[in-house]
């Protein structure tokens, strides 16, 4: 089979393998010490007070929405340019996802358009940091505070990204004095979600996390992860329970088995020790692409706002008008030439399931336009120099061929 350069993939080294093997040789495959060690390391890296790891980013989203009290009849407002899990997790709780349109260049939710979607039922704003580029968090928080809404960041693309105070309307960021914060520090949100799927910045196979500064959310997240059960005496509802033995536990809410294994957590911890290098590598590839593709006549390249540093989970190019109709042929040719390109994403509400439950095409025109132009090209920390050169040359060659045809 010919070599394929995927749009993203994990990098696993001998240290990662040794970390997994050491758990396999230990007493605990799950619910052992590797979980707390991984959680503390993520909290320390991001600047959050609490971290709870889960069996996937989707489980983490479900848990965060649950912890926030989301339920039947409530609404969340999010971006349609995301993976379906962001809104599906609200449906799990019988809440309604409301999609608000995006900015054409970052493909992040357009904060200026959110207000018109807010209703009496709105409970949570869920910005998604598309491709690893932080959303304008300061303005999201301001809006949330104005209407008494929670903010939950879907940062499944954005581990390692940084932001400053945020973009305040009609005002540039104070680049001298504002401090850089890591996504996950929750300075502008109630909770932040991460994913450790192999295409992300660090891999655990499947896995995810919720970060928060809030002890109440933390306690609910822990219970939700494990069947709604607590063994913490301080939380027992049966006050006579202190007379019970060490076996005693209470199930206080309807939770799930959303636990991560120690095998995964050990891999995650080992991966996290390399996060600086992984993020720098992605940023370097993005910078090389920016240079190679600047002023090309075929497509627009990703932007990076002054208030942030993207961690480039994706590098999504947007075809210019004269090539939009040829996107399918271009995509096919890129695949034929061994580039594992993707289209990320189809606006969620265009999916057959969402259409069936009443969402209509045309809801978010900017997102639909973005979708018609988007191609996500390979970017990942383990890419070699020759892989990058091959990507650049093949893309420019195939675009030229399409332009001539």
Ligand X SMILES: Cc1ncc(COP(=O)(O)O)c(C=O)c1O
Closer to ligand X by Cβ: residue 43 or 203: 203
Residue 192 Cβ vs ligand X, minimum distance, rounded to whole Å: 12
Closer to ligand X by Cβ: residue 87 or 230: 87
Comparing CA positions, the residue from 202, 204, 198 lying closest to residue 265 is 204
Closer to ligand X by Cβ: residue 45 or 83: 83
Q: How many CA atoms lie within 13 A of 121 on its CB side?
A: 13
Residue count (the chain): 405
Residue 171 Cβ vs ligand X, minimum distance, rounded to whole Å: 29
Closer to ligand X by Cβ: residue 103 or 337: 103
Closer to ligand X by Cβ: residue 128 or 149: 128
Given a contact cutoff of 8 angstroms between Cβ atoms, the answer to whether 92 and 62 are in contact is yes
What b/e sequence results for 282-296 when a residue is b if at least 16 CB atoms lie within 10 Å of its CB, and e otherwise?
bbebbebbeebbeee
Closer to ligand X by Cβ: residue 54 or 293: 54
d(CA 251, CA 317): 49
Closer to ligand X by Cβ: residue 202 or 402: 202
Q: Give the residue at shortest CB distance from ligand X.
A: 57
Strand partners, 376: 316, 342
Residue 345 Cβ vs ligand X, minimum distance, rounded to whole Å: 8
Residue 168 Cβ vs ligand X, minimum distance, rounded to whole Å: 26
Closer to ligand X by Cβ: residue 61 or 223: 61
d(CA 16, CA 275): 13
Strand partners, 316: 376
Residue 321 Cβ vs ligand X, minimum distance, rounded to whole Å: 28
Residue 328 Cβ vs ligand X, minimum distance, rounded to whole Å: 23
Q: For residue 252, what are its two tokens? A: 């206080």
Applying CB under 6 A, which residues contact ligand X?
56-58, 82-83, 85-86, 128, 154, 156-157, 195, 197, 208
Question: H helices of 178-295, where?
Answer: 215-225, 262-272, 275-293
Residue 83 Cβ vs ligand X, minimum distance, rounded to whole Å: 4
Dihedral sign, CA of 102, 108, 111, 115? positive
Given a contact cutoff of 8 angstroms between Cβ atoms, the answer to whether 75 and 122 are in contact is yes
Residue 85 Cβ vs ligand X, minimum distance, rounded to whole Å: 4
Packing angle of the helix pair 85-92, 57-67 (nearest 10 deg): 50
Given a contact cutoff of 8 angstroms between Cβ atoms, the answer to whether 48 and 213 are in contact is yes
d(CA 304, CA 309): 7
């Amino acid at each position: 089979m010919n070599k394929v350069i995927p749009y993203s993939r994990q990098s696993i080294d001998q240290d990662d393998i040794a970390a997994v093997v050491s758990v396999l040789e230990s007493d605990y495959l799950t619910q052992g010490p590797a979980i707390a060690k991984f959680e503390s390391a993520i909290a320390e890296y991001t600047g959050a007070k609490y971290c709870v790891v889960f069996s996937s980013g989707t489980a983490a989203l479900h848990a965060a929405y649950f912890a926030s009290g989301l339920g039947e009849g409530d609404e969340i407002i999010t971006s349609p340019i995301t993976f379906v899990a962001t809104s599906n997790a609200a449906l799990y709780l019988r809440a309604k996802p409301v999609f608000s349109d995006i900015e054409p260049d970052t493909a992040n939710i357009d904060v200026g358009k959110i207000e018109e979607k807010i209703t009496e039922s709105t409970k949570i704003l869920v910005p998604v940091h598309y491709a690893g580029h932080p959303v304008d968090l300061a303005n999201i928080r301001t809006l949330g505070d104005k209407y008494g809404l929670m903010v939950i960041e879907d940062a499944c693309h954005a581990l390692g990204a940084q932001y400053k105070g945020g973009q305040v309307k009609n005002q540039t960021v104070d680049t001298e004095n504002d401090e850089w914060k890591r996504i996950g520090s929750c300075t502008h949100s109630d909770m932040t979600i991460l994913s450790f799927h192999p295409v992300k910045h660090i891999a655990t196979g499947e896995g995810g996390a919720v970060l928060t500064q809030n002890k109440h959310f933390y306690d609910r997240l822990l219970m939700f992860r494990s069947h709604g059960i607590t063994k913490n005496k301080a939380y027992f509802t049966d006050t006579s329970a202190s007379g019970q033995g060490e076996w005693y536990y209470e199930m206080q809410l309807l939770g799930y088995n959303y636990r991560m294994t120690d095998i995964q957590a050990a891999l995650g911890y080992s991966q996290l020790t390399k996060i600086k290098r992984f993020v720098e590598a992605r940023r370097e590839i993005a910078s090389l692409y920016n240079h190679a593709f600047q002023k090309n006549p075929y497509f627009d390249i990703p932007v990076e706002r002054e208030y942030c540093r993207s961690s480039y989970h994706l590098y999504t190019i947007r075809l210019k008008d004269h090539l939009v109709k040829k996107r399918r042929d271009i995509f096919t040719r890129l695949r034929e030439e061994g580039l594992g390109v993707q289209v990320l994403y189809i606006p969620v509400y265009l999916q057959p399931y969402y259409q069936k439950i009443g969402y209509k095409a045309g809801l978010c025109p900017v997102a639909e336009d973005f979708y018609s132009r988007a191609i996500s090209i390979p970017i990942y920390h383990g890419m070699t120099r020759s892989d990058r050169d091959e990507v650049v040359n093949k893309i420019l060659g195939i675009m030229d061929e399409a332009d001539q045809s």
